[in-house]
Amino acid sequence: MAKKTTKKKVVKKVAKKKVAKTTSKKSTKNAAGKTAVGLKNKAGKRDQDTSVKLTKMAQSIVTAVHSDKEPEMDVPIRAASNTNWNAKKGILEMGDSVGTRQLFNLGQARKFMQTLLHGKSVDELLVADKTLSLRGMFYKSLHTIEGTKEKTFDDQTESDGILEDLEVSLGSLREELHIFAKKRGTMVGNITVVDNGDEINCKKMGSGGYAIPSICEPEVIQFKDVKAKFILHVEKDTVWQRFNEDRFWEKHNCILTEGSGQPTRGVRRMLHRLNKEHGLPVYCLLDCDPWGHYIYSVIKQGSISLAFESSRLAIPDAKYLGIRSIDFERCDLSDDVKISLNERDIKRAKQIAAYPWFEKNKQWQKEIKQMLNNGFKMEVESLITKDISYVTEEYVPARLKAKDWLG
């Protein structure tokens, strides 16, 4: 009996700290009402909807406290086991499996506490109508737990995972939580964008290009004077610089983007919107290795960890221009460009070949098999051995003209 009383006190203490310092159901409703009024004056409908979701989550916990029940919350499982391939739509989707996170379960109490902490921080951002970086969210919720030497978060990776849990639990996107990631990715070309009210002519961006922001939602980014005919997305900044210096985007009337490796949500959202809203085809120029193949897979179908966002990030009709396994002979490259496949590369290539969306694609099965048979991988930069501008003046134009790509 004494144990039950102790639990009740702990739950009430957590509820008071994490749920707007609530002391009763009535006071909770009053606080929620004040928050709703503040948001209505400061933010749009999306912010209000997100605030309502947070309030419902908080109220369910407070209700459990007052009913002498253990507080718990359901969190959709973000794993391959809960990811479904929708062949009709051509994207990955999250399944219906959920895990229950309980406060008094020793294996779940920490994550339960962390979810409430981040939920409280998000609510404060909504009320203040301000945004915060992933790194900032980590520090905002970081402190030593009272009466212990334990910190609320060990590192940012742990914090980021909880934020993704919060996203799927609320059914709200990270951008709707007023959280952004570090900017990574560049764009240049025949388009003018309106970024937070400022018009930016992407034809006049000098040598650096326009830095693609983390949040590319319509409320922040609008497209104006989209005269480009297609998008060429390259894997790395070094390749992008070659295309930009050679004014490829001007000669071929396109938009040139890069993602500095695996593209961020911001880059993927930008590509998705331009493809869906303006019908611009997306062509990808990536390394001939398992990692370049995976980047293409993420751009085209979505990723397993972010399957809940595929409908707003994936581009099912994106094309893979190269480089390809046959290019070693087709482009008459030297042995110097060969990079031997290691065990990790081989294992990853076989995993990718087994993905449902690649498994029945004869073109991709042939491509991956040939790379494995070759025993080596190649980077886009290997084409420089032919000529500094070979990739911009011959390779890509020839692939586009012949419609020689993988889908």
Catalytic positions, please? 139
| Residues contacting residue 227 through CB under 8 Å, at least 6 positions apart | 190, 191, 253
Q: What are the structure tokens assigned to 181, written together?
A: 């990631």
Which tokens belong to 85?
Answer: 């391939």
As a whole number of angstroms, the distance between CA 104 and CA 111 comes to 11
Total Cβ atoms within 10 A of residue 341: 19
Q: How far is 53 from 252, CA to CA, in rounded Å?
A: 47
C-alpha neighbours within 13 Å on the C-beta side of residue 377: 19
User: Which are the contacts of 146, defined by CB distance < 8 A and separation ≥ 6?
Assistant: none
Torsion sign, CA atoms 60, 63, 65, 70: negative
Say if CB 2 and CB 10 are below 8 A apart.
no
HSE-CB at 57 with a 13 A cutoff on CA atoms is 28
